[in-house]
């Protein structure tokens, strides 16, 4: 069978890679063409476009690059027609993927969506488009299935793929890790400033106000694999921090606490049982627009799944050096840390068991048979 998979960022690349592995295991003759990253390519997909070519964040950034995006959409449609897949599989990245789905469904392609667009967070009117253009939806959060049930749209709840990714991650020896990267014996505070250049620049500058205040800790930046070290070093300057790229899970597995840019990383940090402060700041225009259309109590996946404020969220004007220091002191308190650990274990139970990629691959292949 022929599969065409479209993912749009680092997390999509990770989940897409695991899905490719399971598809190939169930269908040894699988021919897979994909938009994603290095992980999907390494898993056996033929990479058409790397996600970093369309890593645009926020409304203003998308407007600035609109002609490039339109060109990519046109190219993607031509490439799908050239490949003529048995299954067209979308992973998150709704802005791009739903446009392709609208075009693909009338042409007779069988459409699958793994990891639903966040219609439950904003613009719920998109459910109408999803029902009309997506044949099979696979959701990874329990409340998302409940959301779609309310719209009379049958979806498959497969559990969260991060459970698999982290359960299968090899145990890291803290002393060996520190020695390998010339770190000392002080506890590690992980700084996760995001994966796109615009957000890294905004987030890291404020995060870097912390290291000078806490010499008893060593601060490690988890660098995204798609950016050069020179990009980070221009922001870091002479701050007492260490940059380690493409080692996020290793860093989290030995971290004492973390500052995390809102996104999938907040869930990853929680599953590694690391106390965290969730941070986010966008451009003033993007934030003003987002605030009008996003109707949620929380921004982090941890709090959304638990439906309560498990981790502190510092958003936009609240994301300041003073507030970071205040909340860092809170998560350094042993009583607070114990409370967080208990909530993290409950979170893991809510996300379900392992096997999300395997279940999704089996369901996709079953529809083709």
Q: Does the pLDDT at position 70 exceed 90?
A: no
288-301 residue pLDDT tens: 555 555 566 888 99
List, for residues 306-330, the tens digit of each pLDDT value: 999 999 999 988 999 999 999 999 9
- Tell me: do 264 and 278 sit in the same domain: yes
Residues 225 and 357 in one domain: no
Tell me: do 341 and 193 sit in the same domain.
yes
Check whether residue 62 and residue 180 sit in a common domain. no
Question: How do residues 33-69 score in pLDDT, each as one tens digit?
Answer: 999 999 999 999 999 999 877 655 555 556 666 667 7
Average pLDDT of the segment spanning 8-18:
88
Residues 309 and 234 reside in one and the same domain: yes
CA torsion, ordered 110, 116, 121, 122, to nearest 10 deg: -20
Q: In angstroms, rounded to a whole number, what is the distance separating the alpha carbons of residues 321 and 313?
A: 14
Give yes or no: residues 177 and 28 share one domain: no
The pLDDT score that the predictor gives to residue 287 is: 55
Per-residue model confidence (pLDDT) at position 286: 58
**What's the mean pLDDT in 3-24?**
92
Q: How many domains does the chain have?
A: 2
Residues 144 and 268 in one domain: no
Cα 102 to Cα 2, 9, 98, 134, distances in angstroms: 20, 21, 6, 9
Both 329 and 359 in one domain: the answer is no
Q: What is the CATH number of the domain that holds 61?
A: 3.40.50.2000
The residue-averaged pLDDT of 230-251 equals: 94
Work out the number of other CB atoms within 10 angstroms of the CB of residue 192: 31
Average pLDDT along the chain: 90
278 with 358, same domain: the answer is no
Average pLDDT over residues 248-272: 95
Predicted local distance difference test score (pLDDT) of residue 52: 77
Same domain, 344 and 361: no
Q: Give tens-digit pLDDT for 116-146.
A: 988 877 777 889 999 999 999 999 988 899 9
Percent of the chain with pLDDT over 90: 70
- Which stretches of the chain are assigned E, i.e. beta strand? 2-7, 31-36, 46-50, 87-91, 111-114, 136-139, 156-157, 188-192, 218-223, 241-245, 255-261, 276-280, 312-315
Both 81 and 123 in a single domain? yes
Q: Which domain holds residue 9?
A: 2-159+353-368
pLDDT digits (tens, 9 = 90+) for 160-207: 998 988 888 898 999 999 999 999 999 999 999 988 888 898 899 999
Same domain as 100, residue 45 = yes
């Amino acid at each position: 069978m022929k599969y065409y998979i479209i993912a749009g960022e680092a997390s999509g690349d990770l989940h897409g890679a695991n899905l490719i592995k399971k598809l190939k295991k169930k269908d040894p003759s699988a021919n897979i063409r994909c938009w994603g990253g290095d992980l999907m390519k390494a898993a056996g997909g033929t990479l058409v476009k790397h996600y970093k070519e369309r890593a645009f964040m926020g409304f203003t950034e998308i407007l600035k690059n609109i002609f490039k995006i339109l060109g990519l959409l046109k190219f993607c449609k031509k490439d799908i027609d050239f490949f003529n897949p048995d299954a067209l599989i979308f992973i998150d990245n709704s802005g791009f993927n739903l446009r392709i789905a609208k075009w693909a469904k009338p042409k007779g392609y069988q459409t699958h969506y793994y990891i639903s667009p966040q219609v439950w967070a904003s613009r719920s009117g998109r459910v109408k488009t999803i029902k009309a253009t997506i044949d099979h939806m696979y959701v990874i959060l329990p409340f998302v299935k409940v959301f779609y049930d309310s719209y009379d749209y049958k979806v498959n709840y497969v559990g969260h793929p991060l459970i698999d990714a982290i359960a299968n991650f090899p145990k890291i020896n803290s002393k060996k890790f520190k020695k390998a990267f010339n770190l000392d014996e002080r506890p590690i505070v992980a700084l996760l400033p995001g994966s796109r250049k615009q957000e890294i620049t905004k987030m890291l500058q404020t995060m870097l106000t912390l290291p000078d205040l806490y010499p008893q800790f060593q601060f490690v930046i988890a660098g995204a694999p798609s950016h050069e070290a020179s990009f980070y070093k221009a922001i870091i300057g002479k701050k007492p921090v260490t940059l380690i790229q493409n080692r996020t899970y290793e860093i989290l597995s030995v971290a004492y606490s973390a500052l995390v840019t809102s996104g999938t990383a907040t869930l990853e940090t929680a599953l590694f049982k690391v106390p965290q402060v969730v941070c986010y700041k966008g451009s003033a225009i993007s934030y003003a627009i987002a605030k009008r259309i996003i109707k949620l109590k929380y921004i982090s996946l941890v709090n959304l799944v638990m439906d309560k404020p498990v981790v502190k969220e510092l958003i936009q004007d609240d994301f300041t050096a003073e507030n970071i220091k205040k909340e860092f002191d809170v998560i350094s308190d042993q009583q607070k840390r114990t409370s967080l650990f208990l909530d993290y274990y409950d979170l893991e139970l809510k996300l379900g068991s392992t096997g999300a990629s395997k279940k999704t691959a089996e369901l996709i292949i079953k529809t083709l048979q």
